[in-house]
Amino acid sequence: MSSLAGRSIGYDVSAYQVRGVLIDLGFPLVARAVAQYLTRARPDAILITHHHEDHGGNVELAARMRIPIGASDATLESLRSPERLGLHRRIIWGNPPALRTPIVRFASDALRLVQTPGHAADHHVVWDAERETMFGGDLFLGVKVRAAHADERPRELVRSLRHAASLHPRRYFDAHRGLVRDPVSALLAKADWLEQTIDAIERRIEQGWSNRAIARAVLGREDVAYYVSRGAMSRIMLVSRVRDESA
Ligand SMILES: [Zn+2]
């Protein structure tokens, strides 16, 4: 799924249906297409990896259709009172309506929600142990992701990446990157790179460097995400998140 604005900067997101269960729900700007899909495909239930608007943005619509929904308490809490989004997120994904309709809760042994905080405090992956398949939501996204947003906890993300790798997924589906080849190596490569990056940032924090100087030295120049998000998704934010997490 993508919006016109999203396509112009290469942003899209996927939902996956497996064992009759739809994993994630897309974003508000594609609500109509999602409603048509739900009517046609009739999933038995929906699992939501985390509260971000490109994953849980159509939860109210699904609740009104009385489709059972599985998500953590924290995710449901956030979906019931959505944060105010920055302009770039409203343009790329749209503003999600709050979840107001009471839901039928869903949980499954075959498709387990596994806590993997870091990208967001309520982030989970969906783990199909029997088929050794993981639906990773926004856990991976790529090895060297140099930009972060204000809710990220980089050290926690490293631990979650190692935990996901320890389950030994043979197949891995990323919400923004599709099928990830050799997922255990990819998850560990990201954990290693991020850990080394955090260490390099922390060394400079101890030496009294400013966030801007550290971002420039360790992560390089800001790219399009910085300008599109007006700094909300940026390299300097990753440095700032490391500083806050280590304080
Ligand atoms: Zn996300």
Q: Write the pLDDT tens digit of every residue in 171-213.
A: 999 999 999 999 999 999 999 999 999 999 999 999 999 999 9
Is the alpha carbon torsion for 241, 189, 143, 55 positive or negative?
A: negative
Residue 162 Cα, ligand 1 centroid: separation in angstroms? 19
The predicted-structure confidence for 51-65, as pLDDT tens digits, reads as follows 999 999 999 999 999
Residue 230 has pLDDT above 90, yes or no: no
Give the domain CATH number at 35.
3.60.15.10
57 within domain boundaries: yes
Residue 137 Cα, ligand 1 centroid: separation in angstroms? 7
Residue 120 Cα, ligand 1 centroid: separation in angstroms? 7
Predicted pLDDT at 228: 85
Residue 71 Cα, ligand 1 centroid: separation in angstroms? 14
120 within domain boundaries: no
118 within domain boundaries: no
- C-alpha distances out from residue 230 to 14, 118, 147, 149, Å: 25, 22, 12, 11
167 within domain boundaries: no
Predicted pLDDT at 131: 98
219 within domain boundaries: no
The predicted-structure confidence for 33-49, as pLDDT tens digits, reads as follows 999 999 999 999 999 99
135 within domain boundaries: no
Per the prediction, the chain carries an average pLDDT of 96
Q: What is the pTM of this model?
A: 0.96
- C-alpha distances out from residue 191 to 194, 197, 198, 205, Å: 5, 10, 10, 21
Residue 183 Cα, ligand 1 centroid: separation in angstroms? 19
239 within domain boundaries: no
> What's the domain count of the chain?
1
Q: How many CA atoms lie within 13 A of 205 on its CB side?
A: 18
189 within domain boundaries: no
Range of the domain at 25: 1-108
